[in-house]
Amino acid sequence: VQLQASGGGLVQPGGSLRLSCRTSGFTSDYYTVGWVRQAPGKEREGVSLINSADDTTHYADSVKGRFTISRDNAKSTVILEMNSLKTEDTAVYYCAASEFGDRIRVTSVEYLTYDTWGQGTLVTVSS
């Protein structure tokens, strides 16, 4: 599995950004793709995830109502739409994935033991 993240940048508070994670190499129909962020000096934090089994999604409380994760199957891409950005959203954002042999769903963004990690993309929210 290979993951290619893109879309980070500098944005003012209240602004929006769209992160993309292009995926390739899945051999199973059942996988989970998540976005995990790490701010300077802080632990990695699960932000959001989506399950291919049924397109269920989960979000960290800190981003609920502001971020939306989705899949574009035609483009093999997972999108994270980020709105109403706050300075505390500043971090390196990683997309990550795990494949499963069965119809398994990850049900918490606290799941961080993904099998594959993409490179990070930096999001800076600052005026």
Tokens of 47: 């932000």
| Dihedral pair phi/psi, residue 89, rounded to 5° | -85, -5
Q: Which residues of 75-87 are buried (b: 16+ CB within 10 A; e: fewer)?
A: eebbbbebeebee
Sheet holding 77-82, edge to edge: 2-6, 17-24, 77-82, 67-72
| pLDDT at residue 74, rounded to an integer | 82
What pLDDT, in 10s, does the model give residues 114-125? 999 999 999 999
Q: Could you say which residues of the chain have pLDDT below 70?
A: none
What lies within 8 Å, CB to CB, of 66 at 6+ separation is 82, 83, 84, 85
